[in-house]
Chains A and B, each alone.
Chain A
Amino acid sequence: MALCVAVVSKENAPKYVASLNPEDELQIQYEIHSSIDFVEEKLKTGKKDMRELYLGLLYSTENHKVYGYVTNTKVKFFVVIDSSNLLLRDNEIRFMFRKLHTAYTDLMCNPFYIPGDYITSENFDKVARGILTGNS
């Protein structure tokens, strides 16, 4: 169960944001924004063996933890979870990203989606909502 799911394009423009409770959204978006810097830094200075798409924990505050994932084409996925949630393992977070990535590649195969547009696909939204509510 996650608090927020976000997709950021290779030019660092937000492409999709979905969150569980809208009151926190501003704060979470701010945190995701900060995490983009961490991603850029990890990609640039990352060791040679930084071959995995999953980047792990990027940023944590009192309330939230931000996890990141970057595809080969520099599209960034973020998942924000509650810091008090200790049940969630690394593996499950990986699984969330895997699902998001699959949904994203499926979206790319849709000829009506123009690369670079904001994501309005219902299928993608369903997957993201599934990750948020945890019953995916």
Chain B
Amino acid sequence: MSAEDVLFDMLHSEIVSYLVSKSAEDEDISILEHLGYSCGWRLIERITKELPRYKEELDILKFICTDFWSCVYKKQVDNLRTNHQGVYVLHDNEFRFFSKLSNGTQYLKSAPKYATFTCGLIRGALENFGISSIVTVEISRMPLCKFNIQVLPSSS
């Protein structure tokens, strides 16, 4: 792990702990998610600069799993599943923000806070591609992490 990755990890965990200590239980999550959203939105503009155009929804999701994920987390998503009706599930077998936390079910209660930013990140990235979605997270055992993406029907 290089120095810049450590910086990102530490900044992220500081933001999480700051927001959790500062605000009420419900509020902290939405701020984190919004932070991720705007981050993902801007990041997409930058990463896709040199890339060819994506047309299909599946292509875009594949891009998120490979290029986007390796840009942020230095690894690819381990598994992508879909029902071809707008539901996608991303499996990350070793989610970066969990890898230092625990290797089992300890601290499971606070785990979602550490995945909220990433939910926003995915949602913001998809939004900039013109895909509205709801992203939720499912954690049964760290460091395994599942992101559920529910694509909303587009308004246009």
Chain A: residues with CB nearer than 8 A to chain B? 10, 50-53, 70-75, 101-102, 104-105, 108-109, 115
How many residue pairs link A and B with beta carbons under 8 A? The number is 40
B46 touches A72 (CB 8 A): no
Chain B: residues with CB nearer than 8 A to chain A? 38, 41-42, 44-46, 48-49, 51-54, 128-130
A115 touches B41 (CB 8 A): yes
Query: At the interface, is chain B mostly helix, strand, loop or mixed?
Result: helix
A53 touches B53 (CB 8 A): yes
A-B contact pairs, 14 of them (CB 8 A): A50-B53, A52-B52, A53-B52, A72-B48, A72-B53, A73-B45, A73-B48, A73-B129, A73-B130, A75-B45, A102-B49, A104-B45, A108-B46, A115-B42
Besides A51-B53, A73-B130, 7 more A-B contacts (Cβ < 8 Å) are: A10-B130, A50-B53, A72-B48, A105-B46, A105-B49, A108-B46, A115-B41
Query: At the interface, is chain A mostly helix, strand, loop or mixed?
Result: loop
A105 touches B45 (CB 8 A): yes
Q: Quick one: closest B residue to A50, CB to CB?
A: B53
